Amino acid sequence: MPHPPVVTLVQSPACHLCLDAEQALAELAARFPVEVRTVQLDSEEGRALVALHRPPMSPLALVDGVFLSSGRLPRKKLAALLAGRAAAMAAG
């Protein structure tokens, strides 16, 4: 059976787009099976992810380790992706 997607949010301190993304992910997690991880930019993992993906702004959002966005979280795009994954999980 497929696993719920993991959304990783790499955020920096005092970042209003990061707070907005956290709120959006909480709302999406209430609607879809998803695991949400937050990683601080100044952590070892955060620095490694930023070095790998080179986002122009925070937050960096990944789905199962694949780049989704940087900056404002694309709610509709992510909701469509999670809906598709949820349907695939339900189909088994």
pLDDT of 69-89, one tens digit each? 999 999 999 999 999 999 988
- The token pair that represents 76 in the structure block: 């509709």
Q: Is the pLDDT of residue 90 over 60?
A: yes
> How much of the chain exceeds pLDDT 70, in percent?
99
Closest by CA position to 79, among listed 32, 38, 36, 37? 32
Per-residue confidence (pLDDT) for residue 1, from 0 to 100:
55
d(CA 3, CA 76): 21
Position 53 scores a pLDDT of: 97
